[in-house]
Amino acid sequence: MLVDNKVEGDSRVQKEARSMAARGWDVVLLGRSPDRQPHRWKIGKATVRLIPMPVPLLRPRHTFRRSPLRAPLAYPAGPLASYQRQHALARRADARTRKDELVRKLAATEQATPALMAERALVWLTRAYAKARGELVELRVKQTEQLARSRQTMDAPLDVLATKVWRTTMGNRSWRRLDPNLWDWELAYGPVVDELAPDLIHANDFRMIGVGARAKLRAAAQGRNIRLVWDAHEFLPGRDVANVHPRWHEAQIAHEAEFVPYADAVVTTSEMMVELLGSAHQLPGTPAIVRNAPTVGLDSDVDTGPGVRALCDLADDVPLLLYIGVTAPQRGVDTMIEALPRLDGVHVALVAKQSPNLERLTNLAAELGVSDRVHPLPYVPVDHIVGHIASVDVGVFPALHNLSHDSDLPTKFYEYAQAHLPMVVSDVRTTAETTRMLGQGEVFRAGDVDDYVRAVRAVLADLPRYRKAYDEHPDLLTEWMWEPQADVLDSVYTRLLKPDHHATEPPSHP
């Protein structure tokens, strides 16, 4: 089983590894080490191995080259610009020191001597040279910085043309030029996969499909069959790419498209994802749906320790809203914070990992004077989540619109549901439709603070009514637990590894 992260915090792969190992499969989950050291531990009966991954290809090759036409004065890539700027400042500081020393000498002398006059001329020349050189260095540094910015935005006509040429001439193979960092993943994971010699590879998401497909090809060249399962967590063409390099997205799409044909089976997260994947790729069959459901329901006897409300040190009658997960801007958590000045007495718990975005949100709360009502909390083990959050009043999913958010129910939706939490959700398509169907919450316009405030007030005014909606859908809550999902995944593995199963013939490599 392959994943492109450090496993901790990825509830889906943790649940997959644990449940498949519990069903008798020999599971080794390979992830990326957060440092230069290998790590190993167990999730149930599954072995987790984190692989160190050097990333020398992360920085595109063109960023190392000078650009004599666009920026003739720019310094070469690297620390030289910073060194030259600091050295120029040091020269000017030294020239000032020499001037101050001369002033001291002149003040102590009644009549300027020829030697002092000569020294004064030399000091003047030194200062003039230091100033001129400093201005030239500053000009070159600014041009270096402008070149770096243009290489990051890649919106200059020459850059746009180059990207288009690679996509046109190389097709799906263009990722090799657009994002060679994808080779870093292969060079780190590939040898470990070959050493394990698996019968089946479960490749999670878009980076790992290439690692899995190449391992399958190498095994086939040696006369051994590997079955490849691709687990599509999101629809890559619809991913929010506001904060990534412009070439990154096109490279990932091309990489995914090149290697998806090697998959023997595909699993994904929802019916809409099945439709989207089918429209984008030639798949080996209809993808199986393995939802991001929690491992246990509210009636579990797992000891989850102190819950969210206790960790926030709040009485039972204090209104408490909850958000779980990534706090990136496209998740819309800003809406929750911006609304607090208008929601007297309401508190917000953010169960999220430490990140610059979480720090940004806490700073925003301080600016608005509501930091005492915002409670950042750490993640808990995946089998503790439902019990851990059950003490809050409302679960919130405030995501902004993009195809990824619109196409699927998020993991937190299932966790809120299993905890029987009333919800306030933005009008991203699938989540809004499901909420309206169940009646367990209110929908607001994504990013609209006024409409969010309305929805929160409506739910807090009648919490029992929204909780009661779950009683009308007991079968759905059973379906939204992890065990049925694990059964689906187990059936995919079993089908692929039956003696009479014939693996998909690898397509001809373009």
**Residue 321, beta-bridge partner list:** 348, 394
Q: Which amino acid is at 499?
A: P
Flag whether 352 is in a domain.
yes
Last residue of a domain, one of 100, 122, 154: 154
Give domain status of residue 243, yes or no: yes
Indicate if 360 and 441 belong to the same structural domain.
yes
Q: Do 328 and 454 share a domain, yes or no? A: yes
**How confident is the model over 455-503, as pLDDT tens digits?**
999 999 999 999 999 999 988 888 899 999 999 999 999 999 975 544 4
Residue 346 lies in a domain: yes
The length of the chain, given as a count of residues: 510
Q: Which two tokens stand for residue 64?
A: 């190392």
Dump pLDDT digits (tens) for 91-128.
999 999 999 998 888 888 877 788 888 988 999 999 99
Specify the CATH number for the domain of residue 218.
3.40.50.2000
Q: Could you give the percent of the chain with pLDDT greater than 90?
A: 73
> In sequence order, what are the residues at sequence separation of 6 or more whose Cβ sits closer than 8 angstroms to the Cβ of residue 410?
292, 325, 397, 399, 431
Residues of the chain above pLDDT 70, percent: 96
Does 395 lie in the same domain as 455?
yes
CB-based burial label for 284 (10 Å; 0-12, 13-18, 19+): middle
Q: Tally the domains of the chain.
A: 3
DSSP, collapsed to helix, strand or coil, labels residue 50 as strand
Domain end call among 262, 289, 316: 289
Q: 97 with 195, same domain? A: no
**Res. 144: pLDDT tops 70:** yes
503 part of a folded domain: no
pLDDT tens-digit series, residues 28-76: 999 999 999 999 999 999 999 999 999 988 877 777 778 887 888 888 8
Same domain, 105 and 179: no
* Exposed/middle/buried for residue 195 (C-beta within 10 Å: 0-12, 13-18, 19+): exposed
Q: Same domain, yes or no, for 432 and 380? A: yes
Beta bridge partners of residue 446, listed in sequence order: none
Q: What residues make up the domain containing 146?
A: 71-154
Whether 284 and 333 share a structural domain: no
Based on the fold, state whether residues 328 and 467 are members of the same structural domain: yes
pLDDT single digits (tens) 312-354: 999 999 999 999 999 999 999 999 999 999 999 999 999 998 9
Judge whether 465 lies within some domain. yes
Residue 454 has pLDDT above 80, yes or no: yes
Q: Which pLDDT score is estimated for 320?
A: 98
Task: Measure CA 337 to chain center.
Answer: 21
Residues 416 and 370 in one domain: yes
In this structure, what token pair is assigned to residue 411?
């993991």
Would 447 be classed as within a structural domain?
Answer: yes
Q: Residue 115's pLDDT is what?
A: 87
Residue 504 has pLDDT above 60, yes or no: no
| DSSP states of 257-307 | HHHGGG-SEEEES-HHHHHHHHHHS--SSPPEE-----SS-TT------S-
| Residue pair 203/289 in contact by the 8 Å Cβ criterion | no
Sign of the torsion angle spanned by Cα atoms 468, 474, 476, 480: positive
The residues with which 266 forms a beta bridge, in sequence order, are 230
Q: Average of pLDDT values for 254-266?
A: 97
Last residue of a domain, one of 126, 154, 182: 154
Q: Residues 312, 265: one domain?
A: no
Residue 74 makes CB contacts below 8 A (sequence gap 6+) with 66, 67, 81, 140, 143, 144, 146, 147
- Note whether residue 193 is domain-resident: yes
Residue 462 included in any domain:
yes
The per-residue pLDDT for range 176-218, each reduced to its tens digit, is: 999 999 999 999 999 999 999 999 999 999 999 999 999 999 9
Shared domain check, 258 and 126? no
Task: Specify whether 453 is located in the same domain as 375.
Answer: yes
3-state secondary structure at position 345: coil
pLDDT digits (tens, 9 = 90+) for 343-395: 999 999 999 989 999 999 999 999 999 999 999 999 988 888 999 999 999 99
HEC per residue, 400-453: CCCHHHHCCCCHHHHHHHHCCCCEEEECCHHHHHHHHHHCCEEEECCCCHHHHH
pLDDT (tens digit per residue) in 277-289: 999 999 999 999 9
